[in-house]
C-alpha cells in the first residue's frame, strides 16, 4: 500500500493550501511529482492514493498522469538517461549516442536494464542546444556527449550504486 | 442575411456558424468534431473553407467553418483548391493510424469517417509506417470498444461527460497515443452510454447487442417507431432482417428526443425476439391447445356472446387496440387495466392538461427552460431522456447567460464552457430519495410525498400569496419555499415537472399549483407529469374506470367473460386482488405478446403484435400522439395487432360481413367520432393509401441485398413481397426515393451520407425541426381563455407511524420496464429486487442492512426482500424496486406492515 | 415492281425434268457435304469422359476460400451481397469466440452463407467486391440437379477443402483461373 512519509504529507497539505477551498484538484501536478520522488514511478495504486488525498476520482488522476511524459507509468531504473533527440542534438550525433547506449546496456528505448539500474528514454529539446549532444541524468545535464563520456557516466553510476548499497 | 458561397448568393440565418449554414443549404462539407447538439470546438480541422475579405480578394484565408459566424455579405469558397487540398490532407493524416478494417467493422456502411473520406477524395495511403495499436476495454454488455479505429475527434468524451454528465469515460495520454476509455475495464455507468455508438463518427464505440445478430445498415428493413419503455415516447427506428428485430436507432424528432436515446430505449428491443413470445393462438381446455384462426374466432365468439363481457385495457397497448376493445365490449364495460390509485392520478393529470391553463411541455422545451422544479419524481430512473433534457436546461442556461455577457455565439462550445465554468441554471429536485440528477441541482430535498406536496403548495402560496387557504407552513418550509420561489420568479421559461410514481395526488396538485402561480405576465410556465407506461396518457384520456372498479362489478354481478388486452394485471395490481378477479370470471381471454402471469390464467390466448410487428398510435405524457409502424413482415405466424383481432371479433359479433380490409385509419376515424377528446388523431400520420407520384415509401434502402436469396432456403419460388395495407410504407426497396413526410421517415440516408449524420439533410436547419414539421400531434391545446384550475388540498405533514410504513416504488433506469427487461444485456445490469429504508426505520424494525424483510398489506403477503439502508430515504417510508422483471404489482402509496 | 437491290434473282419456275424429279443428283450433292464432314475436326467432345478446356477467365461455380492455415477468409462484410446484381447472395454474420481463431481468419465470420444459383448470372462482381479474397469463381460450372431447392448453395457446398488436410482437393477446387486484379 502506497503511503507518503510524514514529511511529504505535510508538504502535500502545504501545496493544497495554496489553492482556494474546494479546488484541491489544482494540487495534482506537484503532488504527483512528490509521489514520483518517493516511489520512483506512478503505479495505479499510487495514483489511487493521490486521488484519495485530493478527494477526486481516480480517473481524474489517470487522465493527467498519462498526459505528461515526465510521469513514469512504468517502473524505471535508478538512473534514467533522457537523451535529447531534437534537431540540434541530432545534427551533432545524438542518434549515434542513443545507438551506443542501446548497445552498451543491451536495452531498447523505453526499457530498463535487468539489474534495474538504467532506463533509456528519448526526449525532445531540453534547451541546451549549445552543448549538443546532451542528456539529462536525474537533475543534471550531461553535455557534449561522446562515446567515451557515456562510458564514464555509466561507470560512475555503477560506482555510485555500489557505494550506496 | 446574404452570404456568397462559391460565387452564388444564399440567404442564411444569422447567428449560425459557416458549417451549419452550408449544411442547412444542402452543401456538402466534411466535419468530425462538430455535432449539432454539442457545438463546435474546432479540433479536427476537417471543415476548412476559404474566406475572402471582399470581391477583390483573390487570395483569401483558410478558416475552420465551424468556428466562424456568418456575417452579412460574407464570401467563402468550399470548392477552392487550397481548401480542398487542406481537407484532403487532414483526412489523410487522420487515417494514418486507422486500421482500414471496414469489412470487419460494425460501423461499415453507416460510417461518418467512410463518408468523409470519400467526400474529400482521399484514396491512396502514402504513410507506410507502422500503425499504433491499443488494447481495448470491456465497457459492459451494451457498448463495444475498439480503440484502434479512433481518429481523436473527442466527440465521445464531450458527449459522455459534458452532455450526459457521465464521469467514468475519459481521455488519457497525449500526442499520437491519445486513449478514450475508462480507468479500467468495467461497465459504463451512464444510462445514456448507447448514444456513443451514434456519436462516434467511426467504429470505436458500437452497439454490442447488434453484434450478436449483426446486419449492415443497408441490409436492414427499417420503419419509424416509437419507444415503448417509458412515457416520454422517444422516436426510434426499428430495424429488421430475417424476421428478427436487429437493432433500434435514434429517429430524430426536434420536439422530443433530438439526437439521443436512453439505453433502456435503445437496447430494450430484444423482447420482440424473445423465446417467451406468444406465436400461436391457444384454447387451453382442449387436448390440442393450438388453434387455427377460424377455430379461435368461433370459440371466442361463442364465449363473448354467452355472458356479459368485460374489457380490460392496457397502458402499454396502442390507442387503436384499446379503442377496438372498447368497441367490442361496449363503453360501459371497458376498464383501464391499472389500479384505482394510479387511474385516479392519471385522470387528474388529464384534467390539468386539458384545462389548457399551463403549457404541456415537450422535451425540446425542457432543454430550453431557464429554471426547472422537479417535485416527487425520480425522472432519472422513470423517464431518463427527460433527465437528460433537464441537464441540458441547467447547463445551457449558464451557457446562454455567459454568451450574452460577452457576445460570443452559444455554439462556441469550449469558449462557453471556459466562461461558464461551474455556473449552472436553476434546478430544484424535491424527491423521495436521491437521484443522480441531484448532482447538478441547486436545491435538493428528500422527504415523504405529503411533505413534498406541502413544500410545493408553500412555493405556490409564496408566488401568489392568498391563493392557498390553509397556510400553516413551518418556518423552515417557508424559508425553502422562498428560496425556490425567488429563483423561479427570475426565470422567463420555467418548467415544473412531477410524476405519478409517488402515488400521491397532492404532489401533482402542488406541482400544478406552482406552475399556475408562476404562469403570470411575461413568464411562460410549462408543466409536465411523468407517467408509468408508454400509452398511460392515451388510456387515461379515454376516461374509463379502473381495474378495481371492474373487480368490484364482477364480484357483485358475477358471470362475466374478461377480455384482457396486452396487460399483465399482476404487474399493476397486488396478486391477491388479481387472483380474486380471475376467480370470479367465467372465462378469460387474453391478448398479449409475451407469456406472463396473466396469460397463465387465460383460457383463450391470442398472439398479439409488439410495436415491431404491428401498427398503432401512442400518446406520450406530453399528450403527443405518435404513430409507430410495423417493421417485421408477418407471413406465417398468427401474430397480429390486438386491434385487428378485436375488430375481427367485432365484425363476427355484429354479423357484418368482413368484406373490406381494415385500416388503423378507419379505426381512428371511428375513435375520433366516439371520443371527441381525440380530435385530429387521424392526422397523426399520412393515411394508408398515401403515395408520392403513385409510389409508396420503401422500408428498405436501395442497396438492400439478397432479395432473391433470403427466403430461398425455405421456398425457392420467391414469394410476393409482404403487402402492408395499413401504412404508406412498403416492404420493398422500390418506391419513392426522395424525402418522405417527416412522420414516415423509415431511415435517414442521403447520397454520400450513409451514417446517422445524414439527418442534417432531413432538417429545415441543423438542430431544427424535420422538413415539414416534427412528427406527432399535440392533443392538448393551450387555451388563452382557460379558467385557472387551482387546487387547495394542502395535506397534513407526514407522520411516521410506529408499525406502518409508506410503500413507494423505486425504479431503475435500465432494469425497470416490463418489456425491456427481456433484453439479456439490460437484465444483467438490472439490480436484484430490494427494499430500502432509512437507518432510523431499520432501527425501529430492529433490522439491519441486508436482512430479509416481508411486506404485508391488509393480509396480503408479498415475497421477502433484502433491505438496504439508505440515508436519504426519510423515516417511515419503504422503497421497493419496481418495474423489474421479478417485480409484481403492489399497493403503492399505502401504509403497509413489515415483518422481519 | 421496281426492285430495291441489284441482286435480285428471278425464280426459275420451269417444270422439272424427270431426272430432276428423282432427286438423285441432289441427294448425291447432299451426301457429299455430309461425307466431307467425316474428315473435318470434330466440334463436339465426349463429355463427361472428356472435358472442354475453359478460357482462362471463365467464371464458374463460387467457392469460399481459406487462407494458408485453413481458416475461412470470409468475414461476412456483406460487400458481395450488395454488389450482386441478381441479389442472389445472403449471409448472416457471427462473432468469432476465443478458441476459434484457427477456424476463422477475422473477428467476424459468416455463420450462414447462401447463394441462389438459379438467380446467379456468374458476372463475378462478388469476386471483385470481396476485400478479403474470400469468394472466388472457380472453373467448374453448376452441376445439374433434380430439384430447384438443391440450387440454393449453402456454406458447406461453397467452402473449399482445407489446404492443409486435403491439398489435392483444394488445388482442384481452386483451379487456375485468372483472377481480376
Asked whether the predicted pLDDT for residue B658 surpasses 70, the reply is no
Indicate if A60 and A109 belong to the same structural domain.
no
pLDDT at B889: 87
Compute the mean pLDDT over every residue in chain A, rounded to the nearest whole number: 90
Domains and CATH numbers, chain B: 2-94 (3.10.20.740), 308-338+543-678 (3.40.50.740), 344-531 (3.40.228.10), 805-899 (2.40.40.20)
Any C CB within 8 A of B780 CB: no
Residue C19 in this model has a pLDDT that exceeds 90: no
Indicate the range of B275-279, B844-848, C154-158 predicted with least confidence.
B844-848
- What's the ipTM? 0.85
Residue C77 lies in a domain: yes
| B-C C-beta contacts closer than 8 Å | 80
CA gap A137, A139 in Å, rounded: 6
- Specify the pLDDT at position B265: 94
CA distance B899 to B880: 14
Q: Is B708's CB within 8 Å of C81's CB?
A: no
Task: Inform me whether the C-beta atom of residue C72 falls under 8 Å from chain B C-beta atoms.
Answer: no
Q: Are A128 and A56 contained in the same domain?
A: no
Indicate whether B660 pLDDT > 60.
Answer: no
Residue C26 domain-assigned (yes or no): no
Q: B456 pLDDT exceeds 90?
A: yes
- What three-state secondary structure class fits B810? strand
Does C17 fall in a domain?
A: no
Same domain, yes or no, for A101 and A35?
no
Of the two residues B670 and B401, the one the predictor is more confident about is: B670
pLDDT digits (tens, 9 = 90+) for B689-711: 899 999 999 999 999 999 889 88
Q: Which residue of A has its CA nearest to B184?
A: A59
Cα angle for residues B37, B258, B761 (degrees, 5° grid): 80
Nearest CA to B164 out of B173, B155, B172 is that of B155
Do A85 and A139 lie in one domain? The reply is: yes
Size of chain A in residues: 165
Q: What chains are in contact with A, requiring at least 3 Cβ pairs below 8 Å?
A: B
- Residue B850 to residues B632, B809, B866, C166: CA-CA distances in angstroms? 45, 19, 5, 62
Residue at a domain's end among A67, A88, A111: A67
How many CB pairs (< 8 A) connect A and B?
A: 24
Chain B contact for C129, CB < 8 A?
Answer: no
Same structural domain for residues A56 and A105?
A: no
B82 touches chain A (CB under 8 A): no
Task: Look at residue C13 and tell me if it is in a domain.
Answer: no
- Using the predicted structure, report yes or no on whether residue B648 has a pLDDT greater than 90: no
For A59, which of B174, B179, B183 is closest by C-beta distance? B183
In a domain, C40, yes or no: no
- Grid cell locating B374: 422537479
Tell me: do A132 and A153 sit in the same domain. Answer: yes
User: Looking at the predicted structure, is the pLDDT value of residue C179 above 70?
Assistant: no
Task: Label residue A1 by pLDDT band (50, 70, 90).
Answer: low
Q: Which residues fall within 8 angstroms of residue B402, CB to CB, at 6 or more apart?
A: B416, B419, B420, B423
Q: Tell me the pLDDT of chain B averaged across its residues.
A: 90
> How many domains would you assign to chain A?
2
C51 touches B: beta carbon within 8 Å? no
Average pLDDT over residues A58-69: 91
Residues A91 and A153 in one domain: yes
The 10s digit of each residue's pLDDT in B186-213 is: 999 999 999 999 999 999 999 999 999 9
**What would the DSSP string read from start to end of A80-116?**
EEEEE-SHHHHHTTHHHHHHHHHHHHT--TT-B-TTS
Q: Are residues A83 and A160 located together in one domain of the fold?
A: yes
Does the structure show a pLDDT above 80 at B121? yes
Q: Are A23 and A84 within one domain?
A: no
Choose the weakest-confidence range: A84-88, B311-315, C172-176.
C172-176
- Note whether A44 and A21 are same-domain residues: yes
Residue A149 covered by a domain = yes
Please indicate whether, in this complex, the C-beta atoms of B219 and C79 are within 8 angstroms of each other.
no
**A149 in the same domain as A98:** yes
Average pLDDT (B531-548) is 93
CA–CA separation, B727 and B629 (whole Å) = 7
Give contacts of B246 with chain C, Cβ < 8 Å.
none
- Please state, in angstroms and as integers, the Cα–Cα distance from residue B586 to each residue in B332, B517, C134, following that order: 19, 51, 63
CA distance B291 to B302: 15
Residue A31 sits in a domain whose CATH number is: 1.10.10.1590
Q: Is residue C1 predicted with pLDDT exceeding 70?
A: no
B178: pLDDT confidence band, cut at 50, 70 and 90?
very high
Taking the model in full, what pTM does it have? 0.91
Which of B478-487, B519-528, B869-878, C49-58 has the lowest average pLDDT? C49-58
Residue C80: per-residue pLDDT? 94
Average the pLDDT over each of B109-113, B424-428, B518-522 and give the range with the smallest value.
Answer: B518-522
Put simply, whether B152 touches A (Cβ < 8 Å) is no
Interchain contact, B216 vs C78, CB within 8 Å: yes
- CATH label of the domain that carries residue C85: 3.30.70.3270
A56 and A89 part of one domain: no
Q: Is residue C16 included in any domain, yes or no?
A: no
Considering the domain boundaries, does residue A74 fall inside one? no
Contacts of C135 in chain B (CB under 8 A): none
- Residues spanned by the domain of C97: 62-174
For chain B, state the CA radius of gyration. Answer: 28
Complete DSSP assignment for B663-682: -HHHHHHHHHHH-GGGTTGG
Q: Taking CB atoms and an 8 Å cutoff, what residues of chain C touch B707? A: 87
Please indicate, yes or no, if residue C33 is contained in any of the structural domains: no
Q: What is the pLDDT of residue C169?
A: 86
Q: What is the pLDDT of residues B281-318, one digit of tens each?
A: 999 888 888 888 888 888 888 888 878 889 999 999 99
Mean pLDDT within B487-508: 93
For a pLDDT cut of 90, what percent of chain A falls above it? 62
Give the minimum alpha-carbon distance from C170 to chain B in angstroms, rounded to a whole number.
Answer: 25
Percent of chain B clearing pLDDT 90 (strictly above):
62
- Comparing alpha-carbon positions, the chain A residue that sits nearest to B180 is A63
Read off the pLDDT of residues B369-395 as tens digits, 9 standing for 90 and up: 999 999 999 999 999 999 999 999 998
The whole-angstrom separation of Cα B560 and Cα B310 is 7
In a domain, A73, yes or no: no
Tell me if A147 is assigned to some domain. Answer: yes
pLDDT band at residue B481 under the 50/70/90 scheme: very high
- B182's enclosing H/E stretch is none
Q: How many degrees, rounded to 5, is the angle at CA B32 between CA B104 and CA B416?
A: 140
Does position B597 have pLDDT exceeding 80, yes or no? Answer: yes
Mean pLDDT in residue range B806-827 = 91
Nearest chain B residue to A66, by CA: B173
Domain count along chain C: 1
Range of the domain at A60: 6-67
User: Which of C76, C87, C93 minimises the CB distance to B709?
Assistant: C87
- Residue A72 falls inside a structural domain: no
In a domain, residue A100? The reply is yes
We report the CATH number of the domain holding residue A152 as 3.40.30.10
CA B360 to CA B353: how far, in whole Å? 6
User: B535 and chain C: CB distance < 8 Å anywhere?
Assistant: no
Contact present, B813 and B381 (Cβ < 8 Å): yes
Dist CA B773 CA B764 (whole Å): 8
Chain A residues closer than 8 Å to B172 by CB: 62-63, 66-67
- Which of A18, A46, A67 delimits the end of a domain? A67
Amino acid at each position: 500500500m502506497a503511503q507518503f512519509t510524514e514529511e511529504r504529507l505535510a508538504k502535500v497539505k502545504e501545496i493544497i493550501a495554496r489553492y482556494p477551498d474546494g479546488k484541491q484538484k489544482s494540487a495534482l501536478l506537484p503532488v504527483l511529482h512528490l509521489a514520483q520522488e518517493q516511489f520512483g514511478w506512478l503505479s495505479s495504486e499510487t495514483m489511487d492514493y493521490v486521488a484519495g488525498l485530493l478527494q477526486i476520482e481516480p480517473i481524474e488522476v489517470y487522465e493527467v498522469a498519462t498526459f505528461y511524459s515526465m510521469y513514469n507509468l512504468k517502473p524505471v531504473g535508478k538512473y534514467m538517461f533522457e537523451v535529447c533527440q531534437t534537431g540540434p542534438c541530432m545534427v551533432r550525433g545524438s542518434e549515434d549516442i542513443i545507438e551506443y547506449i542501446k548497445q552498451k546496456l543491451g536495452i531498447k528505448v523505453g526499457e530498463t536494464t535487468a539489474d534495474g539500474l538504467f532506463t533509456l528514454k528519448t526526449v525532445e529539446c531540453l534547451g541546451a542546444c549549445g552543448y549538443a549532444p546532451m542528456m539529462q541524468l536525474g537533475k543534471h545535464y550531461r553535455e557534449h556527449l561522446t562515446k567515451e563520456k557515456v562510458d564514464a557516466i555509466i561507470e560512475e553510476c555503477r560506482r555510485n550504486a555500489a557505494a550506496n548499497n | 442575411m446574404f452570404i456568397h458561397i462559391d460565387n452564388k448568393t444564399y440567404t442564411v440565418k444569422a447567428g449560425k456558424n459557416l458549417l451549419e449554414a452550408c449544411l442547412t443549404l444542402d452543401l456538402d462539407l466534411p466535419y468530425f468534431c462538430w455535432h449539432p447538439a454539442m457545438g463546435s470546438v474546432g479540433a479536427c480541422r476537417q471543415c476548412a473553407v476559404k474566406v475572402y475579405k471582399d470581391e477583390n480578394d483573390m487570395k483569401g484565408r483558410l478558416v475552420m467553418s465551424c468556428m466562424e459566424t456568418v456575417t452579412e455579405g460574407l464570401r467563402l469558397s468550399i470548392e477552392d483548391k487550397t481548401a480542398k487540398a487542406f481537407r484532403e490532407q487532414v483526412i489523410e493524416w487522420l487515417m494514418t493510424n486507422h486500421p482500414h478494417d471496414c469489412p470487419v467493422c460494425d460501423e461499415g456502411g453507416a460510417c461518418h469517417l467512410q463518408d468523409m473520406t470519400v467526400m474529400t477524395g482521399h484514396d491512396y495511403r502514402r504513410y507506410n509506417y507502422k500503425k499504433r495499436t491499443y488494447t481495448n476495454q470491456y465497457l459492459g454488455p451494451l457498448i463495444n470498444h475498439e480503440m484502434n479505429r479512433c481518429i481523436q475527434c473527442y466527440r465521445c468524451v464531450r458527449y459522455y461527460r459534458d452532455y450526459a454528465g457521465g464521469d467514468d469515460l475519459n481521455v488519457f495520454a497525449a500526442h499520437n497515443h491519445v486513449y478514450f476509455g475508462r480507468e479500467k475495464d468495467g461497465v459504463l455507468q451512464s444510462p445514456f452510454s448507447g448514444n456513443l455508438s451514434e456519436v462516434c463518427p467511426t467504429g470505436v464505440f458500437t452497439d454490442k447487442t447488434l453484434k450478436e445478430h449483426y446486419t449492415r445498415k443497408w441490409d436492414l428493413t427499417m420503419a419509424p417507431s416509437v419507444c415503448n419503455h417509458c412515457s416520454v415516447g422517444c422516436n426510434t427506428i426499428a430495424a429488421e432482417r430475417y424476421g428478427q428485430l436487429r437493432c433500434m436507432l435514434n429517429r430524430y424528432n426536434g420536439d422530443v428526443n433530438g439526437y439521443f436515446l436512453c439505453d433502456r430505449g435503445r437496447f430494450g428491443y430484444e423482447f420482440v425476439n424473445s423465446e417467451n413470445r406468444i406465436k400461436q393462438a391457444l384454447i387451453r381446455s382442449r387436448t390440442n391447445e393450438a388453434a387455427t384462426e377460424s377455430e379461435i374466432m368461433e370459440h371466442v365468439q361463442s364465449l363473448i356472446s354467452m355472458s356479459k363481457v368485460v374489457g380490460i385495457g392496457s397502458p402499454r397497448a396502442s390507442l387503436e387496440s384499446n379503442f377496438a376493445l372498447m368497441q367490442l365490449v361496449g363503453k360501459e364495460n371497458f376498464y383501464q387495466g391499472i389500479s384505482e390509485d394510479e387511474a385516479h392520478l392519471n385522470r387528474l393529470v388529464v384534467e390539468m392538461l386539458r384545462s389548457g391553463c399551463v403549457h404541456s411541455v415537450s422535451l425540446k422545451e425542457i432543454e430550453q427552460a431557464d429554471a426547472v422544479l422537479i417535485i416527487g419524481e425520480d425522472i432519472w430512473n422513470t423517464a431518463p431522456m427527460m433527465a437528460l433534457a433537464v441537464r441540458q436546461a441547467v447547463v445551457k442556461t449558464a451557457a446562454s447567460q455567459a454568451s450574452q455577457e460577452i457576445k460570443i455565439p452559444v455554439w462556441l462550445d469550449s469558449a462557453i464552457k471556459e466562461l461558464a465554468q461551474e455556473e449552472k441554471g436553476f434546478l430544484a429536485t424535491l424527491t423521495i430519495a436521491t437521484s443522480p440528477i441531484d448532482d447538478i441541482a441547486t436545491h435538493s430535498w428528500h422527504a415523504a410525498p405529503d411533505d413534498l406536496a406541502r413544500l410545493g403548495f408553500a412555493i405556490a402560496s409564496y408566488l401568489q400569496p392568498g391563493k392557498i387557504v390553509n397556510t400553516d407552513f413551518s418556518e423552515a418550509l417557508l424559508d425553502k419555499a422562498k428560496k425556490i420561489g425567488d429563483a423561479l420568479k427570475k426565470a422567463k421559461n420555467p418548467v415544473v415537472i412531477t410524476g405519478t410514481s409517488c402515488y400521491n395526488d397532492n404532489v401533482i396538485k402542488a406541482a400544478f399549483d406552482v406552475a399556475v402561480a408562476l404562469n403570470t405576465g411575461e413568464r411562460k410556465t410549462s408543466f409536465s407529469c411523468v407517467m408509468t407506461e408508454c400509452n398511460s396518457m392515451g388510456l387515461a384520456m379515454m376516461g374509463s374506470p379502473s381495474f378495481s372498479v371492474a373487480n368490484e362489478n364482477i364480484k357483485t354481478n358475477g358471470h362475466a367473460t374478461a377480455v384482457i388486452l396486452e396487460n399483465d394485471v399482476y404487474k399493476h395490481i397486488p396478486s391477491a386482488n388479481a387472483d380474486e378477479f380471475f376467480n370470479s370470471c367465467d372465462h378469460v381471454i387474453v391478448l398479449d405478446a409475451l407469456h406472463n402471469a396473466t396469460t397463465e390464467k387465460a383460457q383463450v390466448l391470442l398472439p398479439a403484435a409488439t410495436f415491431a410487428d404491428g401498427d398503432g398510435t401512442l400518446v406520450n405524457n406530453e399528450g403527443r400522439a405518435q404513430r409507430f409502424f410495423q417493421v417485421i413482415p408477418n407471413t406465417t405466424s398468427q401474430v397480429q395487432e390486438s386491434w385487428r383481432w378485436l375488430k375481427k371479433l367485432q365484425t363476427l359479433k355484429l354479423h357484418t360481413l368482413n368484406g373490406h380490409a381494415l385500416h388503423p385509419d378507419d379505426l381512428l376515424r371511428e375513435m375520433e367520432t366516439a371520443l371527441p377528446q381525440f380530435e385530429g388523431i387521424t392526422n397523426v400520420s399520412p393515411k394508408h393509401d398515401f403515395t408520392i407520384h403513385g409510389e409508396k415509401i420503401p422500408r428498405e434502402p436501395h442497396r438492400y441485398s439478397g432479395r432473391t436469396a433470403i427466403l430461398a432456403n425455405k421456398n425457392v419460388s420467391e414469394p410476393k413481397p409482404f403487402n402492408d395495407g395499413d401504412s404508406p410504407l412498403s416492404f420493398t426497396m422500390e418506391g419513392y426515393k426522395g424525402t418522405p413526410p417527416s412522420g414516415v421517415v423509415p431511415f435517414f440516408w442521403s447520397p454520400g451520407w450513409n451514417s446517422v449524420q445524414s439527418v442534417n439533410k432531413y432538417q429545415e436547419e441543423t438542430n431544427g425541426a424535420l422538413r415539414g414539421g416534427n412528427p406527432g400531434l399535440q392533443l392538448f391545446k393551450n387555451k388563452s381563455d382557460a379558467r385557472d384550475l387551482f387546487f387547495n388540498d394542502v395535506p397534513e405533514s407526514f407522520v411516521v407511524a410506529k408499525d406502518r410504513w409508506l410503500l413507494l416504488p423505486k425504479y431503475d433506469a435500465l432494469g425497470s420496464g416490463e418489456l425491456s427487461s427481456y433484453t439479456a444485456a439490460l437484465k444483467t445490469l438490472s439490480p436484484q429486487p430490494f427494499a430500502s429504508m432509512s437507518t432510523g426505520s431499520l432501527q425501529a424494525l430492529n433490522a439491519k442492512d441486508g436482512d430479509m424483510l416481508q411486506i404485508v398489506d391488509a393480509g396480503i403477503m408479498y415475497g421477502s426482500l433484502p433491505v438496504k439502508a439508505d440515508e436519504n430515504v426519510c423515516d417511515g417510508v419503504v422503497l421497493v424496486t419496481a418495474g423489474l422483471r421479478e417485480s409484481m404489482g403492489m399497493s403503492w402509496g399505502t401504509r403497509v406492515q413489515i415483518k422481519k | 415492281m421496281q426492285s430495291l437491290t441489284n441482286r435480285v434473282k428471278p425464280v426459275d419456275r420451269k417444270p422439272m425434268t424427270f431426272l430432276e424429279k428423282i432427286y438423285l443428283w441432289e441427294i448425291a450433292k447432299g451426301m457429299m457435304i455430309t461425307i466431307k464432314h467425316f474428315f473435318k475436326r470434330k466440334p463436339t467432345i465426349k463429355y463427361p469422359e472428356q472435358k472442354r478446356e475453359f478460357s482462362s477467365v471463365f467464371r464458374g461455380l463460387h467457392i469460399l476460400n481459406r487462407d494458408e492455415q485453413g481458416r475461412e477468409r470470409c468475414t461476412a462484410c456483406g460487400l458481395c451481397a450488395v454488389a450482386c446484381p441478381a441479389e442472389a447472395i445472403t449471409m448472416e454474420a457471427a462473432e468469432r469466440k476465443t478458441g476459434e481463431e484457427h477456424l476463422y481468419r477475422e473477428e467476424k465470420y459468416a455463420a450462414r452463407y447462401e447463394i441462389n444459383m438459379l438467380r446467379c448470372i456468374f458476372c463475378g462482381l462478388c469476386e471483385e467486391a470481396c476485400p478479403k479474397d474470400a469468394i472466388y469463381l472457380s472453373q467448374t460450372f453448376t452441376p445439374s440437379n433434380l430439384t430447384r431447392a438443391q440450387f440454393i448453395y449453402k456454406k458447406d457446398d461453397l467452402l473449399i477443402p482445407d489446404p492443409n488436410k486435403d491439398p489435392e482437393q483444394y488445388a482442384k477446387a481452386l483451379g487456375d483461373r485468372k483472377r481480376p486484379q
